[in-house]
């Protein structure tokens, strides 16, 4: 049972109803699906984190920040996608699979372990990129990068586990609902 009272194969559909399906049905299965999933996840994570960092720099949140964040998105989203595909994805899975075992552990535990490892790897890398590009740290680069990483990590982990991860998996399941339903019916 989850904390919401749903069994491991049940998931809330956003309307208060519970649907029977495993987390595996809302995860990418092909290279194309993985590419689309990564683009979506990177966009939601980067946008949220850019808004957060601008709010920190300005001393608080305002509606203008949502628009201001779009200016940084092109470069930061591109960097996040490249890092995820070529550096982080396999390493995060390898680290996560030291703690959990696919086929043995519950799918939600596996998703949480991989998501956590991705944040542990991506947060310092993306914080370094943001520090170099936007913070004008000069000779204080290491100190500013360390501070940026420490400030970003709790937000990145919470954003990933509570907002971005569930939202992107929901959107992904809508995009591939028919394909996933056909695959489930054939099993």
d(CA 49, CA 135): 15
* Domain range for 52: 31-170
Half-sphere exposure of 145 (CA within 13 A, CB side): 14
The two three-digit tokens of residue 149, written as one number: 């990483």
In contact, 76 and 43? CB cutoff 8 Å: no
Smallest Cα–Cα separation from 38: which of 103, 130, 108, 118? 118
Yes or no: say if 95 and 117 are a contact pair by the CB < 8 Å rule: yes
pLDDT tens column, 119-168: 999 999 999 999 999 999 999 999 999 999 999 999 999 999 999 999 99
Structural domain contains residue 5? no
Residue indicated by tokens 């960097």: 79
In a domain, 125, yes or no: yes
77 domain-assigned: yes
Residue 42, in any domain of the structure: yes
The domain total for the chain is: 1
pLDDT digit string, tens, across residues 10-29: 444 444 333 334 555 667 88
| 157-185 confidence digits (pLDDT tens) | 999 999 999 999 999 999 987 666 566 56
Phi first, then psi, for residue 22 (nearest 5°) are -90, 160
Residue 187 domain flag: no
Is the residue at 11 inside a domain? Answer: no
DSSP 51: H
Residue 18 lies in a domain: no
Q: What's the pTM?
A: 0.83
The CB density around residue 106, as the number of other CB atoms within 10 Å, is: 14
Domain-located, residue 12: no
Who contacts 26 (Cβ-Cβ below 8 Å, separation ≥6)?
11, 169, 170, 172, 173, 180
């Amino acid at each position: 049972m989850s904390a919401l009272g749903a069994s491991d194969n049940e998931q809330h559909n956003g309307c208060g109803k519970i649907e029977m399906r495993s987390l595996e049905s809302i995860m990418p299965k092909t290279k194309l699906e993985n590419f689309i999933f990564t683009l979506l996840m990177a966009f939601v994570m980067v946008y949220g984190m850019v808004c957060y960092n601008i709010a920190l720099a300005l001393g608080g949140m305002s509606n203008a920040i949502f628009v201001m964040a779009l200016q940084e998105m092109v470069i930061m989203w591109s960097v996040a996608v490249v890092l995820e595909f070529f550096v982080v994805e396999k390493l995060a899975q390898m680290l996560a699979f030291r703690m959990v075992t696919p086929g043995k552990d519950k799918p939600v535990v596996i998703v949480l372990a991989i998501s956590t490892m991705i944040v542990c790897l991506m947060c310092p890398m993306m914080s370094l990129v943001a520090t170099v590009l936007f913070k004008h740290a000069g000779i204080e680069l290491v100190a500013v990068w360390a501070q940026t990483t420490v400030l970003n990590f709790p937000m990145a982990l919470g954003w990933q586990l509570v907002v971005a991860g569930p939202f992107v998996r929901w959107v992904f399941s809508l995009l591939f609902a028919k394909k996933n339903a056909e695959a489930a019916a054939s099993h």
